[in-house]
Amino acid sequence: MKNMRRVLFVLLAFVLMTVPALAGNVKNIIWVIGDGMGPEAIGFFTEGVRYANLPDYPEKTSNLERMLNGGTWGLFFNNTYDTLVTDSAAAATQMATGQLSRPGVIGEDYNGAAAKTLLEMAREKGMSVGVVTDVYVTDATPAAFTSHTQNRRQKMEIARQMIDFGPEVIMGGGLKYFSTGENKKLLKQAKKKGYHIATNKKELAKIKSGKVLGLFAEQALPMTVEMYMHPQIPTLTEQTQKAVEILSQNPNGFILMVEAGKIDWAAHGNDAGAWFKEMQNLDTLLGYVLPYADKTPDTLVYLNADHDTGLGAFTYRHLGQQKVMEKTAQGEVLYDGNVDYASFKTYHQFLLQKRSLYNLKEELKKLSPEKRTPALLQEQLSIAMGYPVDISAFKNPADLDGLFKQLDEERGLVWATPSHSSLPLLSVAYGEDAGEFSGLYHNTDILPRMKAALGW
């Protein structure tokens, strides 16, 4: 009988070791959303880090690549109820609620009914919740996780609903929506609800527990390429570190949504240098959250985009015979006789860039045509790019849109659109129960998979 029991015990142990563990072990989720980060943005960034010999990446490996190699990939669609192309509002609503919606809608399904979000479900389970962004906190993505409105433009209403809902952490830009007009007393109300208010890096550092409302700019935070001009503003990574410090104090666990929102803005502006630096910003964030997941085994990190923006890529161009002669005289190799292929040296130019080209273009548009001389344009472009730019061969530099397009052509860059596309998106899950997110799915399927990982 004893031998029989021993055999049964060994067989049971063998079965337990060989059967895959059931999902439901996740206690904490850090959900990172790269707004506008299509698959081409991921390839654009990781290829440059790997092969361009960039001084910022001596090991030639990004944190994003480490996540890709150590995580579980998925591919998902993001169409809305009745449109192929989505916006951030509908995309975030569908991800946060698991319900089909329509463009422009926040936290409501396609019939206009309020749909419960993942953060609201987590609150019912006794977990702590938070949203962090580098745009403004009332923008579409954080709004869809914390509020319910018919239109994403209802930012004042969204701000009030956020405070009423009461996430332990709300951080990003958007101070004006909590301190002016109909919401001029909202900060006082937030303090009564237990929020510590922070408007700069020093004030944020002093907060060690409780609720945090961090509003570090009147509207959106600066583009990453221009953040060096604003040392008082905490970076997206610094905000996330504080958020995790606060949220992890809850023994029931936490869910934090972090948005790298300016990937989308750079792509809308068809600004490849700013695009690269926004991807660097995301990569720095991953350099914090991935090690956190490694040392906190019950943590899942999920990375995805809400939609694609821009469809930017490197390309080649055919040159005229005179241009070919000029190039070859300088010792450059031209394949196929007259075809100029994009070069890895362009990535080094991205690292030198000091200004958002979109912001520069808007400033130049405000000048009278008489002041927009070729000499001024070349000077301002050189300052923004961080290296001497020669526009002497550009056609009609007074046409600003054409000027910036020719600059891209010189560097071998092309954009399909300044808008969103219907491109399917990549997801990467890392850490506990990452296997829940493999395969081909729809963005409304993310929430059920999150619930399965949490054991709900």
Distance CA 282, CA 287 (A): 9
Q: Mind listing the pLDDT tens digit for each residue in 187-207?
A: 999 999 999 999 999 999 999
- The pLDDT assigned to 13 comes to 44
Distance CA 147, CA 107 (A): 6
Q: Mind listing the pLDDT tens digit for each residue in 422-431?
A: 999 999 999 9
Contact of 214 with 130, CB cutoff 8 Å? no
Contact of 314 with 385, CB cutoff 8 Å? no
- The type of residue at 399 is D
Q: Mind listing the pLDDT tens digit for each residue in 131-190?
A: 999 999 999 999 999 999 999 999 999 999 999 999 999 999 999 999 999 999 999 999
Residue 95, Cα to own-chain centre: how many angstroms? 15
- Residue with the larger pLDDT of the pair 47 and 15: 47
Q: Convert 303-337 to b/e letters by CB count within 10 Å (16 or more is b).
A: bbbbbbbbbbbbeeeebeeeebeeeeeeeeeeeee
Q: Work out the average pLDDT over 54-78.
A: 98
Q: Work out the average pLDDT over 238-261.
A: 98
DSSP label of 251: T
Largest CA distance in the chain: 101
HEC letters along 71-84: CEEEEEECCCCCCC
Q: Work out the average pLDDT over 430-438.
A: 97
The encoded tokens of residue 446 equal 């993310």
The encoded tokens of residue 287 equal 């350099």
Q: Work out the average pLDDT over 1-23.
A: 46
Using CA of residue 320, residue 326, residue 329, residue 331, what is the dihedral sign? negative
Distance CA 36, CA 77 (A): 14
Pick from 176, 150, 178, 152: which is nearest to 164 by CA? Answer: 178
Q: Work out the average pLDDT over 243-271.
A: 98
Place of tokens 């860059």: 413
The average confidence (pLDDT) of the chain is: 92
Q: Is the pLDDT score of 332 beyond 50?
A: yes
Q: Which residues contact 206 (CB under 8 A, 6 or more apart)?
A: 198
Contact of 314 with 412, CB cutoff 8 Å? yes
Q: Work out the average pLDDT over 31-50.
A: 98
Contact of 310 with 36, CB cutoff 8 Å? yes
Q: Mind listing the pLDDT tens digit for each residue in 382-425?
A: 999 999 999 999 999 989 999 999 999 989 999 999 999 999 99
The encoded tokens of residue 130 equal 């938070």
92: phi then psi, degrees, rounded to nearest 5: -65, -40
